[in-house]
Structure 1
Amino acid sequence: MTTGRPVRDLPADADRLRVLKLWLQLSLQRVRDRIADLERRDVERRRGAAAAPAVPDWVVETGIGADRPRLYVHVGGCHMAGTRVHAVTRDVAARGAADGVEACSHCGADAALGIT
């Protein structure tokens, strides 16, 4: 876009203008590549979220060992639940809490089960 007046913020010779043009083209391609990468990641994130298994309503955390004692009852999705958790029904969770399995104080499993 020219107005008939010389543009003073650009180099005055064609060689430097060509270098600037190339640099701008390369920069624009980097921006386009980054946008495409972010869009791919967003599609992958949405696809992964759609394919993720549903969070169970209740989980029981077990210990280590052959007998794997039940340690805690958690509300499903509790951030304090460890890696050794098993989805259970509400009845199994309530029965476990009644049998002495400790209810997680972080997620309030005992209150959610109505046994406080």
Structure 2
Amino acid sequence: MNESGGSRLALLRFLERVQERDLARTRKWIVDEERREAERRVGEERRPPTPEWLIERGLNRNNIVAVHTGECWDPGKRARPATRTQAVEALRHQVPACTKCRPDTALGIEV
């Protein structure tokens, strides 16, 4: 530190104030991150379980388009949870099995 810009003590006090503000800001960031983490954990706990099977319906809701496993990455927007029995019945009534997740193979059904 140079002697021409003010006393060393004044400069050190200034540095202290800057560091206190930085520390306060960092502590606020920590509190915010802890809150977000707690909210994420609560969200995961409240998330409903992934269904085992999905049935994808067409635009008119009466037309079944495909059967998927619950873990399929491409079920479509109109896919709804289904029971194993519903998935088996749909496949037996010639509803196509998804070509990506192959629910017919998972169910042990040959179509």
Q: TM-score range by the shorter chain?
A: 0.7 to 0.9
Aligned to 2:39: 44
Aligned with 2:82 (options 83, 88, 92): 88
Q: CA deviation at 1:83?
A: 2.1
User: What TM-score comes out, normalization by structure 2 length?
Assistant: 0.84
C-alpha distance 68-12 of structure 1, shift in aligned 2 (>3 A): farther
**Counterpart of 1:35?**
30
Query: How many residue pairs get matched?
Result: 105
Percent pairwise identity: 36
TM-score by length of 1: 0.81
Which structure 2 segments of 5+ residues have no match?
1-5
How far 1:57 sits from its partner (Å)?
0.9
Q: Determine the C-alpha separation between the residues in 1 that align with 2:88 and 2:39.
A: 38
- Structure 1 unaligned blocks of 5 or more: 1-10
State the distance in 2 between where 1:100 and 1:23 align.
72
After TM superposition, the runs of 4+ consecutive aligned structure 1 residues lying more than 3 A away are none
2:71 partner amino acid: G
RMSD: 1.8
Question: What is the distance in 1 between the residues matched to 2:99 and 2:7?
Answer: 72
Deviations along 1:42-101, one digit per CA (max 9) or x if unpaired, are 111111111111111111011113x44111111113221122122111111011112121
Q: 1: CA distance between counterparts of 2:103 and 2:7?
A: 74
